A and B are shown apart, each in its own frame.
Chain A
Amino acid sequence: MIALLIRDLRLAMRAGGGFGLGLAFFLIVVTLVPFAVGPQSDLLARIASGILWLGALLSCLLSLDRILALDWEDGSLDLLATAPLPMEAIVTIKALAHWLTTGLPLVLAAPVFGLLLSLPAPGYMPLIVSLLLGTPALSVIGTFGAALTVGLKRGGLLLSLLVLPLYVPILIFGAEMARRGVDGLDYTTPLLMLAGITCGTIALLPFASAAVLKVNLR
């Protein structure tokens, strides 16, 4: 399992793996927002937490098709399927590798991008915590979507259509938590809901992803 994780991380880091692309996309989104809505810092401060959440979600979405597609093309997925490792473990590792290479950098970069959007000072902590709690669920759900569309020639757009509605609850609670943090309100309720959804997703969804992948490898 650890060997697989290290292999996936290495592949992602090296050239062509697309590591850092998500981060660059996140930066571009953050750069474009002031052009679209105007540079007034009070307006930006009000929407900063929402923009950061949306940007994180979209850059996560961007790299989803890479989770399984490359392994599917060169046949290593078939090899993995015959390995003694259960399919559930494989998809969990894939999701973990995706989170480590996409989700975690986004979380770490978010405070810097918050500065660009003049995010108010009390908002930083809740924003980082909410992203830290929410992005793993985004990766796990994304792996499910990638497993659904892995056999398709042009699955990219379909993948977004399938995955984005599933992101709704996480976006709602995550962004709500960040927003409440900015306003200085108590954010325990969305924090707990977000944590609950993430835990439930991580615990249950790999079984669905594994089942889907088995169907696709049939």
Chain B
Amino acid sequence: MNLNALWAYANPKKFIQTTDKVLPWVSVLAVVSLIVGLVWGFFFTPDDYRQGSTVKIIYLHVPSALMAINVWLMMLVTSLIWIVRRHHVSALAARAAAPIGAVMTLIALATGAIWGQPMWGTWWAWDPRLTSFLILFLFYLGYMALWEAIDNDDTAADLTSILCLVGSVFALLSRYAVNFWNQGLHQGASLSLDKEENVADVFWYPLLVCIAGFVLLFIALVLLRTRTEIRARRMRALLARERMG
């Protein structure tokens, strides 16, 4: 498939038609892999020899944290597409993704706190990773608030896209600034593909399924919310036309 074929989906009608077929599959796959991954992770993996059963929260914590960052990246890409090529579906997808990203950030923070209480002895520490997630959450809040505040759809799309670009730069800056500001309590990466010391395979496979489940869930929700937005906009247009006529 060449890249030009991708732009066909910028047509809302084509987008709705295609997602009509794709959405049920993605939703079912998301539910199945979430159930399989979580049940496998919670009930069919051994307890860690030091952390006991608390280790099992990684099946929620890691995928949600991963999504929290990648949703923002996806918003950055769709914002860029909106600025450069002005495809409405792209802007709507960014708008649809933001609340999901915010919830993912919140899940990551909450599960982290629940795990941190027995393990670190504290709900919250001003650790670089925790802090940058809190800042990321604030960025999500600001982004969503700006969408809500502006009446004109195109203006809102333009302004939020630029905010997303500027915000990305500053979010990245903050990430490294907090690293400098305080030493970490959070463990380093243990899921890298190229490192020797990774999580053991017994935990790794169910975790992979969970990550896949979260990704699919996100795709399903974004498609659903984008479709809703497109239809809501169409409805508004129809109502406006009726009032005119």
Contact = CB atoms under 8 A, between A and B. Distances in A.
A139 to B, nearest CB: 15
Given A165-B135, A165-B139, A193-B180, A218 B155 contact: yes
Interface string B152-183: 00010011001101110011011001101100
B237 interface: no
B155 A216 contact: yes
Interface stretch (A31-39, A70-78, A166-174): A166-174
A208 B161 CA distance: 11
Contact of B138 (A144, A151, A164, A176): A164
A170 to B, nearest CB: 9
B150 interface: yes
B177 A173 contact: yes
A168 B150 contact: no
Contacts of B171: 165
Interface residues of A, number: 28
B177 A208 contact: no
A162 B138 CA distance: 8
Contacts of A172: 174, 177-178, 180-181
B178 A165 contact: no
Given A176-B180, A211-B162, A215-B158, A169 B149 contact: no
Interface residues of B, number: 25
Nearest to B175: A169
A29 interface: no
B145 interface: yes
B32 interface: no
Interface string A149-185: 1011001001001101110110011001000000000
Nearest to B181: A172
Contacts of B163: 148, 162
Choose among A149, A161, A176 the residue with the greatest number of B CB atoms under 10 Å from its CB.
A161
Contacts, number: 75
A144 B166 contact: yes
B235 interface: no
Nearest to B178: A172
B31 interface: no
B99 interface: no
A202 interface: no
Contact of A166 (B146, B170, B180): B170
A158 B149 contact: yes
Contacts of B158: 212, 215
Given A165-B170, A172-B178, A215 B159 contact: yes
B159 A168 contact: no
A191 B158 CA distance: 35
A148 B135 contact: no
Given A148-B163, A176-B180, A211-B162, A165 B150 contact: no
Given A158-B145, A161-B141, A165-B142, A216 B159 contact: yes
A54 to B, nearest CB: 15
Interface in B172-219: 173-174, 177-178, 180-181
Contacts of A155: 149
A197 B173 contact: yes
Contacts of B165: 208
B76 to A, nearest CB: 14
Contacts of A190: 180
B146 A212 contact: no
Interface string B96-125: 000000000000000000000000000000
Nearest to B158: A215
Given A161-B142, A168-B170, 18 more contacts: A151-B150, A152-B150, A158-B149, A162-B145, A165-B139, A165-B171, A165-B174, A166-B167, A168-B174, A168-B178, A169-B174, A172-B181, A173-B177, A176-B180, A176-B181, A193-B177, A215-B158, A215-B159
27 contacts: A148-B146, A149-B146, A149-B149, A151-B150, A155-B149, A158-B145, A161-B141, A161-B142, A162-B163, A165-B138, A165-B142, A166-B167, A169-B170, A169-B173, A169-B177, A172-B174, A172-B177, A172-B178, A172-B180, A172-B181, A190-B180, A193-B177, A205-B166, A208-B162, A211-B162, A212-B159, A215-B155
